[in-house]
């Protein structure tokens, strides 16, 4: 294969590589930790390299360790902020509706 062809193949593989969500990574790591099948079998089934699994596992365990030690705080997602703002608005409207009925001003 020519050098240009190899570069093209690598570029295509990189662009078409599956992106795993945090939830998928956690599921895979937890399956590996359960030990119901070998890591090699799990990685073959999930179509990932074993090095990727061990990197995710290390990151997962280190993040858990830091969280339990109180070293980090969870970031709030924008969806959570939007949901909380909606709930806050609903509660304000509800309070405004019931306040006069109870003599509150």
Please report where in the chains the tokens 């806050």 appear, as a residue: 88
- The 10s digit of each residue's pLDDT in 4-27 is 888 887 777 777 678 899 999 999
Q: CA-CA distance, 94 to 97, in Å (whole number)?
A: 5
- Extents of the domains making up the chain: 20-74, 76-105
HSE on the CB side for 62, CA within 13 Å? 6
Whether the pLDDT of residue 71 is over 70: the answer is no
Which one has a higher pLDDT value, 46 or 67? 46
pTM value is: 0.55
Residue 99: partners with Cβ closer than 8 Å, 6 or more residues away: 105
């Amino acid at each position: 294969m020519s050098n240009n062809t190899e570069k093209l193949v690598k570029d295509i593989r990189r662009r078409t590589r599956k992106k795993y969500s945090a939830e998928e990574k956690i599921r895979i790591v937890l399956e590996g930790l359960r030990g119901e099948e070998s890591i090699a079998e799990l990685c073959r089934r999930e179509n990932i390299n074993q090095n990727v699994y061990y990197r995710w596992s290390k990151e997962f365990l280190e993040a858990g360790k830091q969280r339990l030690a109180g070293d980090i705080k969870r970031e709030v997602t924008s969806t959570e902020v939007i949901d909380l703002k909606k709930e806050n608005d609903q509660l304000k409207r509800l309070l405004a509706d019931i306040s006069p009925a109870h003599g509150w001003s």
